[in-house]
Amino acid sequence: MKVIRYALYAVIGLVVLAVAAVAIAVAVINPNDYKPQIEAAVEKQTNLDLILEGDIGWSFIPLGLELNKVEATLEGERFVALEQLIAQIDFWSLITMSPQVNTFVLNGLDAHFEVNEQGEGNWARIMKEKPVGAEAPEQADTPETTAASEETAEDSEGGEALNFNVENVEISDARVHYNDLSTGQSVVLEDFSVLASNITLGSEFPLDIQFKVETAQPILAVDGSISAKLKANQALNEFTMSGLNAVFDMNGEPFGGKSVTAELAGSLAANLEDETASLNDFTASLANLKLSTNLNVKGFDDKPALNGSLAVSEFSLKELLSNLGQPAIATTDPDVLEAIALSTNLGGKPGTVALSDLKITLDDTNFNGNGSYTLSNGGLVFNLKGDKLNADRYLPPAPEGDAAAEAQSETPAAETASVKQPETDLLPLETLRSLLLDINFDLGELIVSNLTINEIKASTTAKDGLLKVDEFSGKLYYGSFGANVTIDARTDNPKWNIRSDVNNVQTLPLLTDLAEVDMLSGGANLNLAVNTTGNRISALRNNAKGEISFNLAEGEFRQMNLTRMACQGIALVNQEQLSTSDWGSTTPFNDMHGTLKIDGNTLNNTDLVAELAGMRLEGDGTVELEQSELDYEVGLRIVGDIHRDQACRTTEYVKDVVIPVECRGNFAEDPAGLCSFDGSRFRDALKDIAANAARAKAKEEIDRAKEKAQEKVDEAKQKAKDKVDEKLKEKLGEEGSKVKDALKGLFN
């Protein structure tokens, strides 16, 4: 027992001696006497000029150091300056091997970082360059060094965790200046302050941060404050943050000079050993836009597994843009973009972000679906269904009054300018080649360009530069349509393959709603097959090859009366005047069909046929798409009675004659005035009609002469017969009747 007692006395004595030695040193040694030596040592080892202007003080209980008014310059310019630094450690905690920082104060830090025109930072010039060949040789691995490193690793991994405590941390009035001469960018961090207390591993402690940041490109100012409660375990591999409340007030060029507030709130947790992280009741807001989520993440490698939910609360996009100082979106309907929202569940296999129960709201349109995104290859799978969408409501409003007239008067100049502007590529080929897509989209009703399309189905896939629209179909004006498109973008000259069919789509309501054109009615059936190459509009049109076959059943031409045109020709032939004044403005037909051959910008048609009342329309011509020009020669072949007007009566020599009609002009400007009676071609038709009339008249005169001659022959025969009968009756009496009967057969 005495040995133990004496050993304890010895330990206590050593501690007392150590305390006494430290106390004597603090009392006797004045660190200010060593300022020149400290400054000289810094200048010898670095390119910095250290200036210790203020006092250096230290204390015993608590054991601490205080620096005042310290400045370091680099190449004659201030690099860093400090008003005050206080670092105090509880002396008795050192004795017990549980170090506890009593106080750490950093006040008035001012740092300057600069990058020159060559991209070199001034901090890279702090240390002096070593003489050539003065590099320290690499230390070879020896059994001793290897063992020492292994022992150190074991101590760090399996040793007892350090019991680290900090009573108070205070950083105030810190400033950092960053200037990049190579880009012109400059950033200033000022009024930076940090307050934290009772920092103990394994326990929660409060943290408050304040700062201001200003940038030159663009001009932007951010005034931020962050408060939260932090916790870290003693192994420093598990962290939590609760009660997060971060507010950032921003203004500057990106926001049109307006002030915008962004906020973060919620709780975060992470375990580095288990590779897990979570966000609980986490919210992020920017002006009137607010996002909220609860999310768990398992795995920090390239295949994390997610589980949670995400929602964007309903917000007004127009209000958001106004709050952010952005230009307003002008829409035909001023009440759209006022209610947008999103919600979904997050999950999926490791390495895949899966969206389930996805709901998107766009004003009065609702979408539902699901999707997934594969992190390893960027594969995107999406299935989305919507109820109804009026896209026209979101288009820019049409100009009115003087604005419309001004826009119309400026159209030629605008068109000329657009022609002069160089074309741009339609598809980003490199991006397209990297896409991996499988997207299905359904929409109950779509109104676009005033057209109403129902039951839309679209299916698109993309892989290795091959984009396929496998299906694009819907119902349109009592009919249906379908199309599929393949784009091969594996070369720099992509290939396009387009196929489409239209079944019984009523053209009158379609053209009326689409372009207010009341020109043609009937049930349209169409088959299109086109191949082309290129990545610009002009190239696609120039390289197009294909065919369009069409049929229009039970329809009518509107705003043009082909019957009247035909009757004008017939009246000229009959050398009479038409008496009918009410011709109407339509021409009904039973069937019209033909084939358009596509050769670049030109559509050729050689077999246009339409069955009209008493006529058959036959025509051929071309359509120039680039100039929107139509050039057709149409013939109205007379096959029967076409009208009740007496001057339009169909005679034998009029039948099978073709009444010519020409259709020429810009179909984009005046479709109703394209077709008219072709007088120049009708002169050639008149020759045929005159020849037919002459032949018919000669035949009529010959027939009339034959009739007269036959009448005279019959009359002479009857007179001869009567005379014979009379003579026989006088001379032969009753016997004469018998002879008469015998002679009757002879005359016949």
For 731-744, what is each residue's pLDDT tens digit? 655 555 555 565 55
Cis check for the bond before 218: say yes or no (omega within 30 of 0): yes
| Beta carbons of 361 and 375 less than 8 angstroms apart | no
User: Is the model's pLDDT at 154 over the cut of 50?
Assistant: no
What is the spatial distance between Cα 623 and Cα 608, in angstroms, rounded to a whole number?
13
Which letter does DSSP use for residue 122 in this model? Answer: G
Asked whether residue 227 is domain-assigned, the answer is no
DSSP per-residue string spanning 320-379: HHHHTTPPP---SSTT-SS-EEEEEEEE-STTEEEEEEEEEEETTEEEEEEEEEETTT--
User: Is the model's pLDDT at 153 over the cut of 60?
Assistant: no
Asked whether residue 546 is domain-assigned, the answer is yes
- In this predicted structure, what is the pLDDT of residue 159? 44
Same domain, 485 and 548: yes
Q: What percent of the chain has pLDDT over 70?
A: 77
What is the spatial distance between Cα 631 and Cα 582, in angstroms, rounded to a whole number?
29
Same domain, 188 and 322: no
Which letter does DSSP use for residue 612 in this model? Answer: E
Task: Report residue 350 as tokens.
Answer: 């490791």
Strand segments, DSSP code E, in 600-736 are 602-612, 615-624, 629-638, 658-666, 675-677
Q: For residue 284, what pLDDT band results from cuts at 50, 70 and 90?
A: very high
Q: Classify the C-alpha dihedral 424-426-431-433 as positive or negative.
A: negative
Which tens digit of pLDDT belongs to each residue from 342-373?
Answer: 999 999 999 999 999 999 999 999 999 999 99
User: Residues 6 or more apart from 5 whose CB is under 8 A from it?
Assistant: none
Nearest to 254 by CA among 222, 218, 221: 218
| CB-based burial, 57-81: b 16+ in 10 Å, e otherwise | ebeeebbbebbbebbbbbeeeebbb
**165 vs 414, more confident:** 165
User: Is the model's pLDDT at 231 over the cut of 90?
Assistant: yes
Helices (runs of H) and strands (runs of E) counted in the chain? 13, 32
Asked whether residue 282 is domain-assigned, the answer is yes
DSSP per-residue string spanning 549-581: EEEEEEEEEES--HHHHHHHHHHHHHT------
Nearest to 583 by CA among 647, 632, 671: 647
- In this predicted structure, what is the pLDDT of residue 571? 83
∠ Cα 158 161 165 (to 5°): 165
DSSP per-residue string spanning 642-699: --S-GGG---TTTTTPEEEEEEEEETTT-GGGSEEE-HHHHHHHHHHHHHHHHHHHHH
User: Residues 6 or more apart from 445 whose CB is under 8 A from it?
Assistant: 387, 388, 389, 452, 453, 454
Same domain, 394 and 444: no
Q: Mean pLDDT check: name the lowest of 114-128, 411-425, 642-656, 700-714.
A: 411-425
Axis crossing angle, helix 562-574 with helix 679-732, rounded to the nearest 10: 50
Same domain, 537 and 590: yes
Same domain, 23 and 108: yes
Q: Find the domain containing 483 and state its range.
A: 437-693
Contacts of residues 54-60 at CB distance under 8 Å and 24 or more positions apart, as own/partner, are 54/84, 56/31, 56/32, 57/31, 58/26, 58/31, 59/26, 59/88, 60/22, 60/23, 60/26, 60/27, 60/91
Give me the phi and psi of 116, to 5 degrees please: -80, -175
Q: For residue 200, what pLDDT band results from cuts at 50, 70 and 90?
A: confident
Asked whether residue 422 is domain-assigned, the answer is no
Same domain, 273 and 196: no
Same domain, 616 and 675: yes
User: Residues 6 or more apart from 302 whose CB is under 8 A from it?
Assistant: 351, 375, 376
Distance of CA 619 to the CA centre of its chain: 43
Based on its alpha-carbon atoms, the radius of gyration of the chain, rounded to whole angstroms, reads: 50
Same domain, 487 and 627: yes
- In this predicted structure, what is the pLDDT of residue 97? 57
User: Is the model's pLDDT at 415 over the cut of 50?
Assistant: no
Give me the phi and psi of 11, to 5 degrees please: -60, -45
Q: Classify the C-alpha dihedral 445-448-450-453 as positive or negative.
A: negative
Give me the phi and psi of 199, to 5 degrees please: -80, 110
∠ Cα 568 569 573 (to 5°): 115
Same domain, 674 and 700: no
Span 301-322, average pLDDT: 94
Give me the phi and psi of 535, to 5 degrees please: -130, 20
| Beta carbons of 567 and 582 less than 8 angstroms apart | no
Same domain, 47 and 185: yes
What is the spatial distance between Cα 682 and Cα 570, in angstroms, rounded to a whole number?
10
Asked whether residue 139 is domain-assigned, the answer is no
User: What does DSSP say about strands 479-488 and 451-463: parallel, antiparallel, or unpaired?
Assistant: unpaired
What is the spatial distance between Cα 125 and Cα 116, in angstroms, rounded to a whole number?
12
Give me the phi and psi of 579, to 5 degrees please: -100, -15
Q: For residue 654, what pLDDT band results from cuts at 50, 70 and 90?
A: confident
Which tens digit of pLDDT belongs to each residue from 546-560?
Answer: 999 989 888 888 777
Same domain, 698 and 676: no
| Beta carbons of 86 and 74 less than 8 angstroms apart | no
| Beta carbons of 298 and 276 less than 8 angstroms apart | yes
Which letter does DSSP use for residue 416 in this model? Answer: H
Same domain, 204 and 249: no
Asked whether residue 432 is domain-assigned, the answer is no
- Look at residues 376, 398, 420 and tell me which one is the last residue of a structural domain: 398
Asked whether residue 411 is domain-assigned, the answer is no
- Look at residues 666, 693, 720 and tell me which one is the last residue of a structural domain: 693
Asked whether residue 268 is domain-assigned, the answer is yes
| Beta carbons of 597 and 623 less than 8 angstroms apart | no
Task: Tell the residue number behind the tokens 């250290």, with chain if given.
Answer: 50
Tally of domains within the chain? 4
Element (H, E) at 221: strand 220-232
What is the spatial distance between Cα 90 and Cα 13, in angstroms, rounded to a whole number?
20
User: Is the model's pLDDT at 219 over the cut of 50?
Assistant: yes
